[in-house]
A = this chain, B = another copy of it.
Amino acid sequence: TAWKGAPQIRQGDWSFKPKGRMQFDTVAVAAPDSIPDKGLGLATEVRRIRLGGEGSMPGNFGYKLEVELSDNKVDLVDSYISWQSGPFGIRLGNQNQFQSLDELIGDTSGSVMERAAFTDAFNFERRLGLAAEWQKGPWLVQGGLFTDDVNALSASNGDENNSYGVDGRLVFAPKLGDTQLHFGLSGHWRDLNSTGEAGVRYRQRPYSHVTDTRFLDTGTFKASSETHYGLEFAAVRGRWHVAAETHWLTAGRIGGADPTFFGGYAEVGYYLTPGDTRAYKGGIFDRSAPKNPVGQGGMGSWQLTLRYDYLDLNDRDIRGGTQNGYIAGLVWSPINYLRFNLNYAHLDYRDAVLYAGSRNDYGVNVVGFRAELDY
């Protein structure tokens, strides 16, 4: 039995580990007073609750099975059967489509509370599919064929969903002395098929998930396809790390010119506590265990991150608005698997879809706190 937040029980080629996750949020969203929205202000929320298990089996097979209770419904998160042979791996089931570095990083391993605006705006989500991965030395190649979200596919939601897409990602992650570098690019194409008739919509909350209000919103329009690609860069050296991404999404509009929306972020982070560093593994940032945890004479790890988060939902005749976001995050991890996340975000909007009086360019301030545990 090894211990990874919870016991990993082993016997021969078999292993099993229970999985769980809890995130409790308290957030205040302050917008101009002239916007009458009761959904803003101070609010609390259970952001994510997860229960599941993962294991390995003989013959190089493995699996992960995890359900999420979030936003008052039950959803499936990472749930797949896997097979690994040396550098080559396959996963069949519900999983991410290598959308972007920020999206692939676990939500309890991120440097700030919420992911980059473009990852929500562009509707990144897990989908049912078959994916393959090849990893050797500094190289990582990932690709897969996906259909849709498992709830969207379920018969009770209508059985007419025949959307599908192909996704790929290439990562080059050499180590230069003590510096871990990360260069990535990903490309994605999706045929919306019958789901395109219902239309697509790109929008984003003001950083936090506790409110349903979206200042940026393209509205719904019919589309036949989505094409998007992104560039990734990151580096880690001792207590410092930097990361940056850019992502372009083009919607193949039905009855109109194809708009291209854009998002990206750049961040720099620093551990205030000596000896701590941001873990990097398998083409993403991984969970970072504090060097000197509470209970062993230490005070855990303290990490400070500054992030600039940009989103542009204006293109062609569509005015979804733009965001210049400035985020500061402080993460205290007293012991591995447990974190407390304090964030401040200032969001500068232009062409916002909600008017503050006669203005649609204004700033919104957000202060958020999250307690989170995962095992």
Chain A positions near chain B (C-beta within 8 angstroms): 1, 3, 6-7, 9, 11-14, 16, 18, 20, 22, 24, 38-39, 41-46, 49, 51-53, 55, 57-61, 63, 65, 67, 69-74, 76, 79-81, 92-94, 128, 147-148, 150-151, 153-162, 194, 209-213, 293-296, 300, 334-335, 337-338, 371, 373, 375
Contact = CB atoms under 8 A, between A and B. Distances in A.
B55 A52 contact: no
A226 B214 CA distance: 33
Given A38-B194, A49-B76, A373-B63, A71 B155 contact: yes
Contact of A81 (B57, B295, B296, B371): B371
Q: How many copies does the complex hold?
A: 3
Nearest to A4: B14
A155 to B, nearest CB: 5
A22 B65 contact: yes
Most chain B CB within 10 A, of A1, A11, A59, A92, is at: A59
A45 B162 contact: no
A193 to B, nearest CB: 9
Contacts of A293: 58-59
Contacts of A57: 335, 337-338
Given A39-B159, A45-B153, 14 more contacts: A6-B53, A6-B55, A7-B9, A22-B81, A38-B162, A44-B153, A45-B154, A58-B293, A58-B294, A59-B334, A72-B157, A73-B156, A155-B210, A155-B212
B7 A16 contact: yes
Given A55-B375, A58-B335, A334-B61, A159 B210 contact: yes
18 contacts: A7-B11, A7-B14, A43-B161, A44-B153, A45-B154, A49-B79, A51-B51, A51-B53, A51-B67, A57-B337, A58-B294, A58-B295, A59-B335, A67-B69, A72-B154, A93-B371, A155-B211, A159-B212
B16 A9 contact: no
Contacts of A162: 38, 41-43
B14 A158 contact: no
B7 A3 contact: no
Given A51-B51, A81-B22, A39 B160 contact: yes
Contacts of A24: 81, 92-93, 128
